[in-house]
Amino acid sequence: MTFYDVVIGPFVEFDFMRRALIGSLALSLGAGPVGVFLMLRRMSLAGDAMAHAILPGAAAGFLVAGLSLPAMTLGGLVAGVSVALLAGLVTRMTVLKEDAALAAFYLLSLALGVTMVSLRGSNVDLLHVLFGSVLALDDDALLLLAGVATVTLVTLALVYRPLVLECVDPGFLASVSRAGGPAHLIFLGLVVLNLVAGFQALGTLLAVGVMMLPAATAPFWTQRLAPMFGVAVAAGALASVAGLLGSYHAGVPTGPAIILAAGVVYLLSMAFGPAGGLVWRLVPARRHRAA
């Protein structure tokens, strides 16, 4: 087989592969920078919890209108925002920390959402909700993914300074500005928005993967914040292409293939990345011992 047959041909010959590629790239463009901020704010597990928190809302939309994109998107958005607000309220009014509150709501949301889908849908419907259907993206889904990516990038540009300051020195930000609280809420809204968009392609169980794995890859290539965004987006795009091609040629599920490809990119970066990869950390140590 030629390079064209392996890499280019599937996207040229099949419309569903082109749609999947466009949707995955749009998702990577918006979710990558959000994932970097989640990582810097030490909220990586919170992203996972929020990904599962949208499930009851999406399930409610499914019960009302079936596999309807607007209904499931609206339901997931409402559920995600509600869980974020409830977790914040519990944190402020009780002794429970935010991560513990999110974990509790995450478990309840996952169980409730699976139960709701099972009441009416088949096993196929449940798999669609949990793992998505990236090869079945229609025009509405692509417009949603592109719109979310655009809104995310524009909003991050507007609240970039307070978000960065909150990551580096939240005490200083609180002393000079009141923008920290609103910026935090806006950021949580972007997290939910991107997870809802990712749900359309990868399902609730895998949506957080395309957000966090590329973000975790970026620090192995650069320690500067702005380039981290570019590395995260590039890693997500590379994983999307590799996952789609792997799924096409090997006949494996596409969503898990994309996340596995992102995992491979992360592991290779952890081993060989120039900004803290294991190989580069071991080489100076060996030279020192030899001397």
pLDDT of residue 123: 65
Looking at the chain, the whole-number percentage of residues with pLDDT higher than 90 is 34
Interatomic CA distance for residues 4 and 6, integer angstroms: 6
> pLDDT, tens digit, for every residue of 251-279?
888 888 999 999 999 999 999 999 888 88
pTM of the full structure: 0.85
Location of structure tokens 């040229």:
12
Give every CB contact of residue 187 below 8 A, 6+ residues apart in sequence. 34, 37, 159, 163
Instruction: Tokens for 254, please give them.
Output: 């596409």
Angle between helices 254-272 and 225-250 (to 10 degrees): 130
For the ranges 60-64, 68-72, 252-256, the maximum mean pLDDT occurs at 252-256
pLDDT of residue 265: 96
pLDDT of residue 124: 63
- Exposure letters 25-45 (e unless 16+ CB within 10 A, then b): bbbbbbbbbbbbbbbbeebbe
Listed residue (188, 202, 189) closest to 256, CA to CA:
202
pLDDT of residue 202: 81
Confidence bin at 22 (pLDDT 50/70/90): very high
Query: Is the pLDDT assigned to residue 157 strictly greater than 90?
Result: yes
pLDDT of residue 31: 93
What does pLDDT average to over the chain? 84
Q: What is the DSSP letter of 42?
A: T
Confidence bin at 233 (pLDDT 50/70/90): very high
> pLDDT, tens digit, for every residue of 38-51?
988 877 777 777 77
Query: Is the pLDDT assigned to residue 8 strictly greater than 80?
Result: yes
Average pLDDT of the segment spanning 153-171: 85
* Cβ 76 vs Cβ 61: under 8 Å: yes
Q: Where are the alpha helices (DSSP H) in the chain?
A: 3, 9-13, 15-40, 44-53, 55-65, 69-93, 98-120, 123-131, 139-158, 160-168, 170-176, 180-202, 209-217, 225-250, 254-272, 278-290
Listed residue (134, 124, 118) closest to 55, CA to CA:
118
User: Which fold, 3-290?
Assistant: ABC transporter involved in vitamin B12 uptake, BtuC (1.10.3470)
* Cβ 215 vs Cβ 232: under 8 Å: yes
- Other Cβ atoms less than 10 A from the Cβ of 79: the count is 27
